[in-house]
Structure 1
């Protein structure tokens, strides 16, 4: 049956209206520029902190405590007197030895004068000199013994809790107080021997602790152990961390990330990667006049870290790729670019601005 011209026009008009009714709006996406950044392969480990210098001070003689010159947790300088033991008897013995030295020095002077006038033999002078040296040696020995009755700080640091009081009888080897140098901390950890070839002194690392979860402490490897544990097949590593605010303490557990094989490479957020089997793709955004059109491009990726991925091949620096809206993005599709995410503008801000 032939179709009239009027009927044909109505059908074409209905089809146009239907096409407009089912036309989908442009998919909104958020882009991100591929950037060159410093990258390293992270080597993770668990480590334990130690003070740069640490000592437990104790007595070497048996005596009671006469004075305590510090407070718990106080920062003290090198050479400061911390504890003085009762030394009255030793002081009296020293004064007696010094008096004997003075007496024999006077005797030597008199003998020397007589010998100059040939009124005394030379042997008497020499014997008097020997007795004087013996008296001086006895006095020096007592002074050395008196040093054991005074306990000084061997280096600048922070003292711990004191567990003794004035009048306490102490004995040799008895723990009196701890002293730790905390401005620099030593961080000891182990790594599998297979990574030994990648380690070297001076290699940078970062460390975190549960006590300060929002802070990252930086340091570097100071030394590497000379032996590999034959049981665990691991090697010991010691790093040094600056601790200017004295927040880190000996014995703390830290999570360590060693930055090995540092290099400049192309980096993208992991949200830009679309995996497909063993292959990886990104949606590249091309701008033609006012239109943004997508291109699905395969890339080769390297290492991953904290939401970022290393791009080895397939992309150039400053390429604009989709990081939000990939679920609805298709190759060759025209999209609506909501904005560019960067260090100053995040995805949430761009989405809220589009509402």
Structure 2
């Protein structure tokens, strides 16, 4: 029996050796050659600038407080709160009956003097009146015409009109009220375009110029950003704060902004085209940074490539050296791959991709097919 067992063991040992020589690689070794799934990002050129922050205050493009220039009773009020008005619209009419009477009397005098001039001219044409009478009558007619113009100018003081298109404020006056010179009657603001005034340290003067882009935000609309541009620079630098006043223009077609609002301003200095990457693509190495570039022409092999960084923004970073536009780098999965590894790209990380959803789907196990 012992001999038979020895023979059987020898045969099993030989079979195992033959199996080890002829069978394929183990599963773990086979999986080691499979490409590692990663999410990649392309180095792309974007409009870039160096930000400069400041605090500013909004002003209306045009703003005025209309007031009376005469002492008189209000005859009519032709607007309501926050009404939009056009240039020349009559807003408040003061009692002008006395001035209207003076105008009618002057107009009647003009008719009388014009008739006298016509009669004297006819007589002078037949040599029945001296030429001096004609000249005197013409001068009297011109005098009354000048008086009529003066009365009409006085009438404008009784008619409070809008000097430009805009929005009036609250109506705080009623018919029958007595107004006097200098009394404030109503405010009028042109809000389609807003002026934004702020100050910038004078050390940045060389980077400031009309036309420079900016973005402004306000606590009143925390989710909105209002874009504008610098329109003018102050002519003097404040000797105390060593800052220069700057004025910008913001579009306000939706009428959401109001004069007096506090705005947080970000000036876009030194506008340029910059090569940018998602910040998660970077790997720190001592005092430097590198990325894992993907060689698309050589089977998606990973190459370690040092890069030089410029400025950073929220989630992105400027690359000044080490990459070219269009280069593909690993953005998610940098800890799972090494230089020389082959990778498979699950997706390109950009503004349109949902990285968490893409990773979730990549981990999902496909359903088994029925046999």
TM-score normalised per structure 2: 0.83
* Counterpart Cα distance in 2 of 1:325 and 1:76: 61
1:352 corresponds to which residue?
A: 360
1:341 corresponds to which residue?
A: 349
1:110 corresponds to which residue?
A: 119
* Counterpart Cα distance in 1 of 2:69 and 2:206: 47
2:5 corresponds to which residue?
A: none
Is 2:100 the counterpart of 1:88?
Answer: no
2:4 corresponds to which residue?
A: none
Q: 1:59 aligns with which of 65, 68, 71?
A: 68
Q: 2:250 aligns with which of 237, 241, 247?
A: 241
2:312 corresponds to which residue?
A: 304
Q: 1:316 aligns with which of 312, 324, 346?
A: 324
Unaligned ranges ≥5, structure 2: 1-9, 365-371
Q: 2:223 aligns with which of 210, 214, 218?
A: 214
The secondary structure found in structure 2 opposite 1:179 is strand
Q: 1:286 to 1:123 in 2, by over 3 A?
A: closer
* Counterpart Cα distance in 2 of 1:215 and 1:266: 27
1:278 corresponds to which residue?
A: 287
The superposition leaves residues 306-353 of structure 1 with CA deviations (integer Å, 9 ceiling, x where unpaired) of 321110011222222222234555445565644322222121121221
2:176 corresponds to which residue?
A: 167
2:156 corresponds to which residue?
A: 147
* Counterpart Cα distance in 2 of 1:193 and 1:27: 53
* Counterpart Cα distance in 2 of 1:100 and 1:201: 58
The secondary structure found in structure 2 opposite 1:227 is coil
1:205 corresponds to which residue?
A: 214
Give the deviation of 1:302 after TM superposition: 0.6
105-114 vs 175-184, greater mean Cα deviation: 105-114
Count of residue correspondences? 347
Q: 1:96 to 1:297 in 2, by over 3 A?
A: same
Higher-strand-fraction structure: 1
Is 2:220 the counterpart of 1:183?
Answer: no
Give the deviation of 1:81 after TM superposition: 1.0
Q: 1:264 aligns with which of 270, 273, 289?
A: 273
The superposition leaves residues 208-259 of structure 1 with CA deviations (integer Å, 9 ceiling, x where unpaired) of 2222233322222111111111111111111112222222221122222222
Unaligned ranges ≥5, structure 1: none
Q: 1:330 to 1:105 in 2, by over 3 A?
A: same
293-302 vs 325-334, greater mean Cα deviation: 325-334
Q: 1:30 aligns with which of 39, 44, 49?
A: 39
**Aligned-residue CA RMSD (Å):** 3.1
Give the deviation of 1:117 after TM superposition: 4.0
2:137 corresponds to which residue?
A: 128
* Counterpart Cα distance in 1 of 2:26 and 2:317: 46
Q: 1:299 to 1:49 in 2, by over 3 A?
A: same
* Counterpart Cα distance in 1 of 2:264 and 2:337: 39
TM-score normalised per structure 1: 0.86
The secondary structure found in structure 1 opposite 2:234 is strand
Larger Rg: 2
